[in-house]
């Protein structure tokens, strides 16, 4: 079976840094995705990790440790528009299983 855990909610101040953790226990592993979903909108792709280490893409970075079944998404220089739900998803081909999502609220 698949078990993907991430915190339900996080709050941070504009300009700050927030780290969203994701731990997973899956029968197989072919990569980990992060998606962003604003309220009432479709999830949009943020990042993909298949090898251990850090992937940086502008203000967003994603880290993966396969041996620990652990990933995090780092959001730097937070902006109000970053208020959204962040979804961790694990690929165990051909399936893609999602965590319940972390709602990030950015306050002025």
Partner 1 sequence: KAGVTQTPRYLIKTRGQQVTLSCSPISGHRSVSWYQQTPGQGLQFLFEYFSETQRNKGNFPGRFSGRQFSNSRSEMNVSTLELGDSALYLCASSLDSGANVLTFGAGSRLTVL
Contacts of 104 (CB under 8 A, 6+ apart): 9, 10, 11, 12, 18, 20, 75, 82, 83, 84, 85, 86
Q: Judged by CB under 8 A, which stretch of 15-23, 40-48, 54-62, 68-76 contacts partner 1? A: 40-48
User: Residue 101 interacts with partner 1 (CB under 8 A)?
Assistant: yes
User: Residue 96 interacts with partner 1 (CB under 8 A)?
Assistant: yes
User: Residue 87 interacts with partner 1 (CB under 8 A)?
Assistant: yes
Q: Are 37 and 85 within 8 A, CB to CB?
A: yes
| Total of chain residues touching partner 1, rule CB under 8 A | 21
User: Residue 27 interacts with partner 1 (CB under 8 A)?
Assistant: no
């Amino acid at each position: 079976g698949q078990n993907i855990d991430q915190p339900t909610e996080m709050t941070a101040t504009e300009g700050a840094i927030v780290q969203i953790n994701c731990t997973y226990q899956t029968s197989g592993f072919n990569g980990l995705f992060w998606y962003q979903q604003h309220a009432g909108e479709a999830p949009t792709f943020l990042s993909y990790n298949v090898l251990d280490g850090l992937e940086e893409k502008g203000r967003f970075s994603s880290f993966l440790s396969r041996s620990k079944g652990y990933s995090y998404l780092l959001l730097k220089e937070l902006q109000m528009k970053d208020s959204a739900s962040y979804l961790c998803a694990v690929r165990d081909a051909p399936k893609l299983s999602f965590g319940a999502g972390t709602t990030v609220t950015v306050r002025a």
